[in-house]
Structures are given as C-alpha cells and as structure tokens.
Structure 1
Amino acid sequence: MSHKIQVHKQSFSLDPTGAIFWEEKSCLLLSDVHLGKVSHFRKYGAAVPKHAIHKNYLLMDKLVETYQPFEICFLGDLFHSSLNREWVLFENWVARTPAKITLITGNHDIIGPEKFESLEIEQLEECVTEEFLLTHHPEEREGFFNLCGHIHPAVRLQGFGRQRLKLPCFFKTENQMILPAFGEFTGNHVLKPKELDEIFVIAEQQVIQI
C-alpha cells in the first residue's frame, strides 16, 4: 500500500518498492536500482541465486502497469558497474516500456553514454523542474526541494526489551527526500532522524509513517 504526501502543492505517492510517483508530472522516480549487480557478484563466485536477476525487472514492470507513467526518471546508480550480460535484459525492458526514460548520473553509472543514447535514454547530471531539484547525491540548494538517492536510507526501530528492527525508508527533511535503494542486494545505511524529519518505513509491502 502506497502513502501519499504533498510537497509544494505537488502530490507524490511513496510506493513500497521504494519508488515515488509524481502525479502532476506523471513521472516515476527510482533510485539505486543497481542493475547487473547480481550478475557481477555471481561472476566473482558469490552465492547469489540466479533468479534474483529478474526481480528488479518484474517490480519495474509492475510499477509501469500500476502508475502508467509518462516518464521514468532514475536518480542514479541504474547499472552497478561495467557492462555484463544483464545489459541485454535491460535493453529488452526498455524496448517494451512505453515511457520516456531519463537517467540522472550516479557514481556507479560508468557505462559509456553512447549505450544509453542508443536506447534513447536522456542522461543528465541533474534536473531542475519548478521548485524541485533531482540529483543522485543529496544536495541542498536554496529555493529547491531535493529528490535524491545514493544513501540507501534505513532507520533502526527498538521495541520492548531488546527487540530491534532495521527497515529501509523514505527519509524526508524540510527541503529534501532521500529515496530508499530500489535494487536487490544493495544494503542500506542507518540514519538518525532529527525532531522535524519525517520517516516513511517500508514493511510488509506497506509504506508507514513513523
């Protein structure tokens, strides 16, 4: 179940996959998908199940079917490293996806820009639209609300006794929203919220504000 919020009179649906749908722009935002990471690990002997390769594509297909976006914007780290055989799967996914695709370059996006150009994917360092700044690394810029990734945010919850739980989250401050990592096997980084921060955790296919 998604959770809806408003920022600067714009409506955003926070999806349990870690994606955000920007309703007024009909734009689906995803960050840190890290395609190719499973193949990269398997190449070097890591015991990662082969079927995990397809999970990101299935989730992205479901998002496209649910929200039918005009545009899909990846906020960096779309592909984990250099080319591997998963690039063919990505090409097939792009071919069957009707939305315009944009990539905000992240630190892991080292594949030559000509490969993305051949798929008609626009690649940018950042994107400014109205009062919003879309980047990979978190950035503070006066007059803008920053939508970004890179951190793979999570929070640690503590219950009665010694119960502890670490959950991925959308991490919102006054002028910024850090998206959770979309991809499988990406890990996360625990952040400590301040008093006015808003945290939306992902648990059991729900987005819950805590």
Structure 2
Amino acid sequence: MQPLEFGKDQFVARADRTLFHQETQTLFLSDLHLGKGAHFRQSGIPVPDDSESNDLDRLIDAVNYTKSNTVWILGDLFHHPRSITHTQMDRWIVKFQKLHTTLKVILGNHDRDAQPLAKKLGFAIYPEPTNWHGIELAHHPDNRSGYRIAGHVHPQVELKAATDHLSCSCFAIQNQRLLLLPAFTKFSGGPRLTPGDALCFPIIGDQVLPPPN
C-alpha cells in the first residue's frame, strides 16, 4: 500500500490495483473487462479460463480487507457484452453478491449495450463524468478542467537498472490533475510511461512503490 495525495484528498494505492479513500470507505477500480478471456477463447486463442474468477476473488478480498461501503468501477466492467453467456452471468452474480456493498459504475467504451448486464450484477449506473468530492470520476482521461480519476489507459511504467529493465502496471498522476488507475484485470496491456510522462507508482508483487527518480 502506498499513500497517494490527489487534489485535497488522501488515498491509498493498493497492490491489488484498487484505490482506497479511507475517510469515506470508498474503493475505486477500473477496467475489469469481464469476459475478456472467454472472448479470446471463442476466437481460438488459448487463454486461461479462470482469469475472471481470479479477478473477482481479488475484488472480494479488497472489499473485505478495506471494509469499503461503496465500490466505484470507472469503466470497462465488461469486455465484449454481446458475447457473454447466461452461464457466465450466473457465476458473476454469485461473486458480486458476496461483496455486500454499494456498487456504482461509469460505463466505458467496451461497455456498449451493457446497461442491462450491469444492473443484473447489482450496479447503479452513473454518467461520465460524475462529480465525487469535487473530483470528476470518468472512464476516459479527458480532463479539461479540475481533477479527474479515470481508467481506460491501462498505464504501465518501465523501471530500468544498469543491465535490465522491467515493465509493470502503475497508478499515474499526469499534470497534477489526472489520476490514471491501472487495469484491474491482470489480463491486459497498456502504454509504457516514463517518469517524465507522469508521476508513476509502480505495482510490483504485493507492493506499490513510490515514484522512481
């Protein structure tokens, strides 16, 4: 866990790829991409069939550990809603019922036609952007004024040593007013940022590190 100050608020960046606001017991995440693994398998690409289950188990653990009373998902709850089966939805409903918390979502670019599915999982749907404590919550990172927390980008940072380098997911603050969340699913890629692009908080194993020099 890593303390993270954004705007006038204090957050905790967590190694499970969630952002926690302790004062309001609110948990933020983005880019869960439910159904992504199955969508790839339907296209003949052999990927593990337990990726969604593992992601949802991590979310349940995060909510239980933080005792969050509200969970915000900032877009791309689903990957390809039209390819989702009733069997998948039934499994996910069981998982989300274990959260025992208020579920809120801002739909992302992958969530086209996903309103009925999101509601079946127990989510209340909010417009983009939505104001929260003077901060814009959104999927897309188009912050033209004020502070914004967003997803969509799946930011990664490249850490360099003398003879080696490592790319890892990260939380990233750009121009002091835009906070990018890492993709919650580990089955994802994204652009590599450098310390010159943003203030990056790398996620390595069970730790979130302070920004590298």
Name the CA distance, whole Å, in 1 between partners of 2:96 and 2:90.
10
Residue 3 (structure 1) aligns with: 2
Hey, what's the Cα distance between the residues in 1 that align with 2:108 and 2:64?
26
Please tell me the residue identity of whatever aligns with 1:139: D
Per the TM alignment, residue 188 of structure 1 is displaced from its structure 2 partner at its CA by: 1.9
User: Residue 11 of structure 2 corresponds to which residue in structure 1?
Assistant: 12
For the 8 Å contact 2:60–2:98, the answer to whether it is kept is no
2:18–2:27 CA contact under 8 A, matched in 1: yes
Aligned equivalent of 1:137: 140
Distance 1:119 1:186 in 2: 23
Task: Tell me which residue corresponds to 1:170.
Answer: 171
Does 112-121 or 170-179 show the bigger shift?
Answer: 112-121
User: What is aligned with 2:20?
Assistant: 21
Name the counterpart of 2:90.
88
Aligned: 1:190 with 2:201: no
- Runs of 4+ in structure 1 off by over 4 angstroms are none
Partner of 2:110: 108
Query: How far apart are 1:13 and its partner, in Å?
Result: 0.8
TM-score, normalising length: structure 1 = 0.91
Question: CA offset at residue 119 of structure 1?
Answer: 4.0
**Partners of 1:124 and 1:88 in 2: CA distance:** 23
Deviates more, 1:56-65 or 1:186-195: 186-195
Aligned letter for 1:198? Answer: L
Instruction: Give me the whole-angstrom Cα distance separating, in 1, the residues matched to 2:48 and 2:119.
Output: 31
| Percent identical | 28
Change (3 A) 1:203 1:93: same
Given the superposition, is the C-alpha separation of residues 111 and 184 from structure 1 closer, same or farther in structure 2, using an over 3 Å criterion? farther
What's the RMSD between the two structures over aligned residues? Answer: 1.7
Unaligned runs of 5+ in 1: none
**Structure 2-normalised TM-score?**
0.90
Residue 204 (structure 1) aligned with residue 202 (structure 2): no
Structure 1 equivalent of residue 31 of structure 2: 32
Contact 1:30 1:182 in 2 (8 A): yes
- 2:40 maps to 41
Q: Residue type matched to 1:156 in 2?
A: E
**3-state secondary structure, aligned to 2:125:** strand
Gaps of 5+ in 2: none
* Number of matched pairs: 206
Residue 75 of structure 1 corresponds to which residue in structure 2? 74
Please tell me whether the aligned partners of residues 36 and 87 of structure 1 are also in contact (alpha carbons under 8 angstroms). no
